[in-house]
Chains A and B, each alone.
Chain A
């Protein structure tokens, strides 16, 4: 990859890049994943379940490594493990406290450490992991096949459909769980459904950014959007656009440099978040936006 040089002639550059089918697939997969991450991530930030999102995405690593060990496709491993972990987190009776608070977070953290350890065990047992551990942990856009893109798109469509159905009550239950419960909204069931959606999303995103850097695409664009606007519809749209920009810019940059895509995606999305926060702080200080 180091041999390609950025020539500043954008048209020629793009023509060169599109000549590789894997790059076209990478851009397609990136678009699917970014749209999904933008939508689900917005609810994740609203519900303050970012730690659960991080944990569910870390699970993708043992999933992919285990799939390699038993000889199944890595896609099955990602989805299987992430959904199973989401089920565990949803079914286990939560210790007292909501969000990322103490005892509950201890449970989440224990699950996360154990599953990462499982991934390490699997890679230790299976010595010939193609591309190494780093590709699984920190992302790789090489070798994405058309079938993989189709699977990603199908799962994303299903998740978005479910999200569209439960969207309104979920918004209510996330914004004010007590009032929602009093009005007869099944808050707990919605929470469990959302965790499953989050698991599927984490599995998708992990295949592009790597298991450890899902946070960059799942949470950062959504958090940036929520810094900029409090309206749901506008926020969701902004979140999707930001995720898309971070992914495509990341792919572009990774194509021209030896660094893995995860570095660029996390840098761009974190940079956007810092800028948005700084802008909001400045606006509040000069009185443009009421706090």
Chain B
């Protein structure tokens, strides 16, 4: 089992149809990766999972997981509003998520004690509105064709990563890479502003602006990931790898990288499971793998705390944990 897992660069080359991969990946391309849908799923999924892991790390750090949950739920409304009004689904996703992200930012006004009730009320109403649009959409289509009841809603809620077209996959990869890059650029000031907002503000860091910018990144990430794992399961990609990374190490940059890496590893494992086991929805496989990863991290952290009280959060376990998760693909 030494080099069966290609690096992301090779994967990108594979998905783009670059001739290079034939040298390195002959057994893989002859197998599962010969299917274009699997290549698209891998390409889009990798970018989405990395972005969700990085963004999720900050969500957990800033105690904004509930906000992430709200954004993922409003993605449903955006998508269905666009469908019902006859626009492209992706436009609704992005517009809806970014608008709600800004609204949530204004509601919280950068305050650290986010108002859970206001956020929850907003998104439960938004979900209700989503159902309204779903009814509008399905009854509008009932005249033309019957039997499509709820199909659109289900695919937005739970995603269809194996149903991505080439165009969707490239967009997803581009947006995911963009979110990753933006998070990496913002990481240092954002870390400062999250850990100690007062001192950061005193040192001239634009704390409020960063808060808005970060929420917009979360919105973009939610909109993108909705197409792959669906708006309901997106929370698994946002919270589980980041929560695991927070458990495993207290060092910020290491945890940030670990969250991204765990997200990608869990997504690959989930895709492989979804491909290998017939009838298993890939969205479930991805979420289940992410949950297993979190449970493993929970166990590792508990054992370590019991074993060596004095040593503090070392990262010895992180390398070991990446192994079993990462080699599944």
User: Is B233 a contact partner of A105 (Cβ separation < 8 A)?
Assistant: no
Interface flag for A137 (CB, 8 Å)? yes
Complex: chain B residue closest to A133, CB-CB:
B154
User: Is A117 a contact partner of B131 (Cβ separation < 8 A)?
Assistant: no
A22 to B149, CA, bound (A): 23
User: Is A102 a contact partner of B60 (Cβ separation < 8 A)?
Assistant: yes
User: Is A109 a contact partner of B235 (Cβ separation < 8 A)?
Assistant: yes
Binary contact readout B116-132 vs A (1 if CB under 8 angstroms, 0 otherwise):
11101111110111011
Known contacts A103-B247, A260-B131, A270-B125, A113 near B235 by CB under 8 Å: yes
A228 to B68, CA, bound (A): 29
B143 to chain A, nearest CB (A): 13
Interface range, B side: 35 or more
User: Is B63 a contact partner of A97 (Cβ separation < 8 A)?
Assistant: yes
Interface flag for A215 (CB, 8 Å)? yes
With a CB–CB cut-off of 8 A, which chain B residues contact A48? 116
With a CB–CB cut-off of 8 A, which chain A residues contact B135? 258-260, 263
With a CB–CB cut-off of 8 A, which chain A residues contact B60? 102-103, 105-106
With a CB–CB cut-off of 8 A, which chain B residues contact A266? 124-125, 127-128
Known contacts A117-B236, A258-B135, A100 near B291 by CB under 8 Å: no
A263 to B242, CA, bound (A): 33
With a CB–CB cut-off of 8 A, which chain B residues contact A262? 127-128, 131
Interface flag for A33 (CB, 8 Å)? no
Interface with A: B88-96, B168-176, B281-289, which one? B281-289
B49 to chain A, nearest CB (A): 13
A253 to chain B, nearest CB (A): 11
Complex: chain A residue closest to B72, CB-CB:
A113
A248 to B118, CA, bound (A): 23
Interface flag for A138 (CB, 8 Å)? yes
Scoring B68, B114, B120 by chain A CB atoms within 10 A of each residue's CB, the highest score goes to B120
Interface flag for B240 (CB, 8 Å)? yes
User: Is B63 a contact partner of A101 (Cβ separation < 8 A)?
Assistant: yes
With a CB–CB cut-off of 8 A, which chain B residues contact A137? 157
A163 to chain B, nearest CB (A): 20
Interface flag for A134 (CB, 8 Å)? yes
B120 touches which of A50, A95, A105 (Cβ 8 Å): A50
B253 to chain A, nearest CB (A): 17
Interface flag for B290 (CB, 8 Å)? yes
With a CB–CB cut-off of 8 A, which chain A residues contact B114? 100
User: Is B121 a contact partner of A110 (Cβ separation < 8 A)?
Assistant: no
User: Is B121 a contact partner of A106 (Cβ separation < 8 A)?
Assistant: no
Scoring A120, A125, A265, A277 by chain B CB atoms within 10 A of each residue's CB, the highest score goes to A120
Interface flag for A187 (CB, 8 Å)? no
Interface with B: A154-162, A171-179, A216-224, A232-240, which one? A216-224
User: Is B131 a contact partner of A263 (Cβ separation < 8 A)?
Assistant: yes
Interface flag for A281 (CB, 8 Å)? no
Known contacts A100-B116, A110-B294, A113-B236, A267 near B128 by CB under 8 Å: yes
Complex: chain A residue closest to B294, CB-CB:
A110
With a CB–CB cut-off of 8 A, which chain B residues contact A133? 150, 153-154, 157
With a CB–CB cut-off of 8 A, which chain A residues contact B149? 132, 134
User: Is A114 a contact partner of B287 (Cβ separation < 8 A)?
Assistant: yes
A88 to chain B, nearest CB (A): 11
User: Is A121 a contact partner of B121 (Cβ separation < 8 A)?
Assistant: no
Interface flag for B105 (CB, 8 Å)? no
Interface flag for A12 (CB, 8 Å)? no
With a CB–CB cut-off of 8 A, which chain A residues contact B123? 215
With a CB–CB cut-off of 8 A, which chain A residues contact B153? 133-134
A106 touches which of B131, B154, B246, B281 (Cβ 8 Å): B246
Interface flag for B62 (CB, 8 Å)? yes
Interface flag for B134 (CB, 8 Å)? yes
With a CB–CB cut-off of 8 A, which chain B residues contact A108? 65
Interface flag for A29 (CB, 8 Å)? no
B110 to chain A, nearest CB (A): 17
With a CB–CB cut-off of 8 A, which chain A residues contact B66? 51, 100, 105
With a CB–CB cut-off of 8 A, which chain A residues contact B232? 113, 116, 120, 212
Complex: chain B residue closest to A123, CB-CB:
B154
Scoring B123, B125, B150 by chain A CB atoms within 10 A of each residue's CB, the highest score goes to B125
A109 to B233, CA, bound (A): 10
Known contacts A106-B65, A259-B132, A120 near B284 by CB under 8 Å: yes
With a CB–CB cut-off of 8 A, which chain A residues contact B235? 109-110, 112-113
Nearest 7 Cβ contacts at the A-B interface: A106-B243, A113-B236, A266-B128, A109-B239, A117-B287, A105-B65, A270-B125
Given contacts A120-B283, A263-B128, 4 further A-B contacts (CB under 8 A): A106-B243, A110-B291, A124-B279, A134-B153
